[in-house]
Amino acid sequence: MMAPWNAPVFITRVWCIFEIFTAHTTDACKVDIVMPPKEKRSLELEVINDDGGINALYKTLAKTKVENANASVESDRLAILDWVESDVGCSTLNHQVNDLLRQWMLAVLTELVETRENTNDEDYADFCNQVGVILKTNGEYGAAMKLHQTARTICETVLGKDHKETATTYSNIGSVLFELGDYEGALSKYEEALAIRFSAFGKNHPSVATSYGNIGCALLGIGDYDGALSKHKECFAIQLSALGRNHPDVADTYGSIGSVLESMGDNKGALSKYEEALSIYLSVLGEDHPGVADIYCSIGSVLESMGDCDGAFAKHKEALAIRLSSLGKNHPDVAETYGYIGSVLEKMGDYEGALAKHKKALVISLSALGKNHPFVADTYLSIGSVLESMGDCDGAFAKYEKCLAIELSALGKNHPDVAETYRYIGSVLEKMGDYEDAMAKHKEALAIRMSALGKDHSDVAKTYNSIGVAQKKMSTPKDTATQPNRKLRTRLGSRRRSIKAVGEGCIGNTSTICT
Ligand SMILES: *[C@@H]1O[C@H](CO)[C@@H](O)[C@H](O)[C@H]1NC(C)=O
Ligand SMILES: *[C@@H]1O[C@H](CO)[C@@H](O)[C@H](O)[C@H]1NC(C)=O
């Protein structure tokens, strides 16, 4: 019984949680969740209320905490907790129950969309948009895209191509393309949205800022770091004066600027932006929100670059806990965190552990993102790197080639990530004694880096260094090549979740539920 829909009484009771978990994890049982019509209506209204629905959903789904739940009889509570702790553990149980609720909630929303299907009006388009955003943030990209396209068709027909609502649908389609790794496609949609917003709202409106921010994210994906930085700065200036500093959109922008600085090799600058973002998120969104997890993830990444593996590991653990409870175990953001943890473990010398994490990341990302996504490429690179550390050069080489093939088709041959992959291939070829091919790869890397990053970037220096080392080896082919310093590169999430605060109103009468 899902009531009230945003704070179900069921998940405050030990017996209920235990029963749902047991039924859910036993093949013989089918769990039916029901929601009173009044609750359904209230959920629907919440979803229409701009982005409120997403936040309310996150909050609801992070609420299962068997360790805090109660029972009428204290000895029952203790006995159940005893069993849980000796069996799956509290957090796994909580996540399983949350997963079940999430799947069900997404199904309810999809059903709500279907029941309104024959009303081809503006309201329906708006509803499609909102549900599409919720599906996207939950990693359901195909379904999200379908709804956004429906909304776009309606808006174009009913409101015209220059209307601000139509711009929103372009922007949303762009966001799904972004998640799918199609950064060029995303960029062109974001630009269409910007043009409309610019003439509809003027140049200082927050939604124009959002468009600049989106464009900045797409440019980062494409590998144009300077372009990305300047867009994020334009975005920031507008947001700061229109929204004030303590706004989640401003925090998003701090995070985005941090990501660009990190990509440019400025770790200290990145860290300070991430910390600004974190303090806003914590005060505005609370500590269980996925936005907070995103920032922990970014901080972990930059700490790893700065050589603080323990610090990085701790941050990724925090991110993982939030992502598992708010997004579920099959979400690409969870894969991203496994990737980071794997990369830290590799640095700490735990190769088996690292390999296991990267394989987990691969399974999730293949099914959530498809086999041609840049993150999948990156995961192959990570696996290759661990294999290389373990001394399996042939295995590593095969993975690097897989990574390169995906990157060439998804990102194009002039992307900085492609250069990085050439560097890996070059250094493993050196280890295998093939110095000429190694040199050729290093030179390809250098050419890309010089044109993408400029001659003063630290990565260009590194590439010169690799070439120097390779040249030396050709004359004295005895030393073993040094492996490039591994670091996950392709940031997954768009890091842009536009958010509105949600009222905690309880609707419905739940005092008679038997627990
Ligand atoms: C369980 O009961 C305690 C004490 O009455 C209360 O503080 C706590 O909030 C309850 N837990 C839940 C999940 O409702
Ligand atoms: C909820 O139901 C109980 C029992 O039927 C009733 O006594 C109470 O007044 C109801 N509360 C509300 C807010 O409707």
Would you tell me how many other CB atoms lie within 10 Å of the CB of residue 139? 20
Class of residue 510 by CB neighbours under 10 A (exposed 0-12, middle 13-18, buried 19+): middle
Of all protein residues, the one whose alpha carbon is nearest to atom 12 of ligand 2 is: 509
Instruction: Let me know if residue 64 belongs to a domain.
Output: yes
| Residue 346, pLDDT score | 92
Distance 355 CA to ligand 2 centre (A): 56
Confidence of residue 148 (pLDDT cuts 50, 70, 90): very high
Instruction: Let me know if residue 423 belongs to a domain.
Output: yes
CA atoms within 13 A on the CB side of 248: 20
Of all protein residues, the one whose alpha carbon is nearest to atom 11 of ligand 1 is: 69
Residues 391 and 452 placed together within one structural domain of the fold: yes
The verdict on the CB of residue 68 being under 6 Å from ligand 1 is: yes
| Ligand closest to the CA atom of residue 3 | 2
Higher-pLDDT residue of 453, 12: 12
Confidence of residue 5 (pLDDT cuts 50, 70, 90): confident
Distance 96 CA to ligand 1 centre (A): 21
pLDDT tens digits, 186-242? 999 999 999 999 999 998 999 999 999 999 999 998 889 999 999 999 999 999 999
Q: What is the mean pLDDT of residues 303-308?
A: 92
| Ligand closest to the CA atom of residue 65 | 1
| The domain boundary residue, chosen from 321, 340, 363 | 363
Of all protein residues, the one whose alpha carbon is nearest to atom 2 of ligand 1 is: 70
Least-confidence region, from 318-322, 323-327, 344-348, 479-483: 479-483
| Residue 508, pLDDT score | 29
Distance 223 CA to ligand 2 centre (A): 59
Can you tell me the distance from the alpha carbon of 460 to that of 442, in angstroms, rounded to the nearest whole number?
11
Q: Please name which of 373, 324, 312, 401 lies closest in space to residue 348, comparing C-alpha atoms.
A: 312
Which residue type sits at 442?
A: H
Of all protein residues, the one whose alpha carbon is nearest to atom 9 of ligand 1 is: 68
**CATH number, residue 324:** 1.25.40.10
The verdict on the CB of residue 379 being under 6 Å from ligand 1 is: no
Write down the H helix ranges in 87-224. 90-115, 122-137, 141-158, 164-179, 183-201, 206-222
Higher-pLDDT residue of 461, 363: 363
Residues 359 and 378 placed together within one structural domain of the fold: no
Distance 506 CA to ligand 2 centre (A): 13
| Residue 106, pLDDT score | 87
Instruction: Let me know if residue 393 belongs to a domain.
Output: yes
Structure tokens at 64: 């299962």
Can you tell me the distance from the alpha carbon of 205 to that of 196, in angstroms, rounded to the nearest whole number?
12
| Ligand closest to the CA atom of residue 94 | 1
Atom of ligand 1 nearest to the CA of 69: 13
| Ligand closest to the CA atom of residue 7 | 1
Instruction: Let me know if residue 35 belongs to a domain.
Output: yes
Q: What is the mean pLDDT of residues 484-500?
A: 38
Q: Are 210 and 202 in contact (CB under 8 A)?
A: no
Residues 379 and 351 placed together within one structural domain of the fold: no
| Residue 457, pLDDT score | 67
Under the phi-then-psi rule, with left for phi > 0, alpha for psi from -120 to 50, and beta for the rest, what region is 236?
alpha
Structure tokens at 269: 């600058």
Residues 72 and 99 placed together within one structural domain of the fold: yes
Atom of ligand 1 nearest to the CA of 12: 13
Residues 379 and 348 placed together within one structural domain of the fold: no
Name residues contacting ligand 2 (CB within 6 A).
509, 511-512
Which residue type sits at 344?
A: V
The DSSP symbol for 205 reads: -
Can you tell me the distance from the alpha carbon of 482 to that of 469, in angstroms, rounded to the nearest whole number?
9
| Ligand closest to the CA atom of residue 507 | 2
Q: How many domains does the chain have?
A: 3
pLDDT tens digits, 262-289? 989 899 999 999 999 999 999 988 888 8
Q: Does the pLDDT at position 507 exceed 50?
A: no
Confidence of residue 28 (pLDDT cuts 50, 70, 90): confident
Domain encompassing residue 349 = 287-363
Q: What is the mean pLDDT of residues 482-496?
A: 43
Distance 117 CA to ligand 2 centre (A): 35
Residue 438's φ and ψ, nearest 5 degrees, are -60, -45
Q: Please name which of 313, 285, 288 lies closest in space to residue 300, comparing C-alpha atoms.
A: 313
Q: Does the pLDDT at position 315 exceed 90?
A: yes
Instruction: Let me know if residue 211 belongs to a domain.
Output: no
Question: Residue 480: CB partners within 8 Å, gap ≥ 6?
Answer: 431
| Residue 1, pLDDT score | 83
> Dihedral of CA 380/381/387/392: which sign?
positive
Q: Are 228 and 255 in contact (CB under 8 A)?
A: no
Instruction: Let me know if residue 149 belongs to a domain.
Output: no
| The domain boundary residue, chosen from 336, 363, 390 | 363
Higher-pLDDT residue of 479, 468: 468
Share of the chain above pLDDT 70, in %: 88
CA 203 to chain centre: 29
Helices 458-475 and 416-431: angle between axes, nearest 10 degrees = 20
Structure tokens at 370: 């498809």
Distance 69 CA to ligand 1 centre (A): 6
Would you tell me how many other CB atoms lie within 10 Å of the CB of residue 246? 11
The verdict on the CB of residue 12 being under 6 Å from ligand 1 is: yes
- Ligand 2 pocket test, candidate residues 9, 39, 509, most atoms within 8 A of CB: 509
Residue 13's φ and ψ, nearest 5 degrees, are -115, 130
Class of residue 175 by CB neighbours under 10 A (exposed 0-12, middle 13-18, buried 19+): buried
Q: Are 260 and 225 in contact (CB under 8 A)?
A: yes
Cis omega (within 30 of 0) for bond into 4: yes
Torsion, Cα of 133, 489, 274, 174 (10° steps): -20
| The domain boundary residue, chosen from 309, 340, 363 | 363
Place of tokens 């943890």: 341
Instruction: Let me know if residue 82 belongs to a domain.
Output: yes
Residues 386 and 428 placed together within one structural domain of the fold: yes
Confidence of residue 52 (pLDDT cuts 50, 70, 90): low
Q: Does the pLDDT at position 7 exceed 60?
A: yes
Q: Are 159 and 131 in contact (CB under 8 A)?
A: no
Q: Are 58 and 73 in contact (CB under 8 A)?
A: no
* Mean pLDDT score of the chain: 84
Can you tell me the distance from the alpha carbon of 417 to that of 395, in angstroms, rounded to the nearest whole number?
20
Instruction: Let me know if residue 208 belongs to a domain.
Output: no
| Ligand closest to the CA atom of residue 513 | 2
Question: Residue 240: CB partners within 8 Å, gap ≥ 6?
Answer: 250
State the greatest distance between any 2 C-alpha atoms of the chain, in Å, as a whole number.
83
Would the pTM of this model clear 0.85, i.e. be above it? no
Residues 297 and 349 placed together within one structural domain of the fold: yes
pLDDT tens digits, 415-459? 888 888 998 998 889 888 888 888 888 888 878 777 766 666 667
CA 183 to chain centre: 15
Of all protein residues, the one whose alpha carbon is nearest to atom 14 of ligand 1 is: 12
The verdict on the CB of residue 72 being under 6 Å from ligand 1 is: no
Share of the chain above pLDDT 90, in %: 51
Least-confidence region, from 189-198, 479-488, 499-508: 499-508
Residue 70's φ and ψ, nearest 5 degrees, are -120, 165
Of all protein residues, the one whose alpha carbon is nearest to atom 14 of ligand 2 is: 509
Higher-pLDDT residue of 154, 46: 154
Q: Residue 230 belongs to what H/E stretch?
A: helix 225-243
Least-confidence region, from 27-36, 44-53, 323-332: 44-53
Atom of ligand 1 nearest to the CA of 70: 1
> Dihedral of CA 367/368/374/375: which sign?
negative
Confidence of residue 50 (pLDDT cuts 50, 70, 90): low
Of all protein residues, the one whose alpha carbon is nearest to atom 5 of ligand 1 is: 70
The verdict on the CB of residue 70 being under 6 Å from ligand 1 is: yes
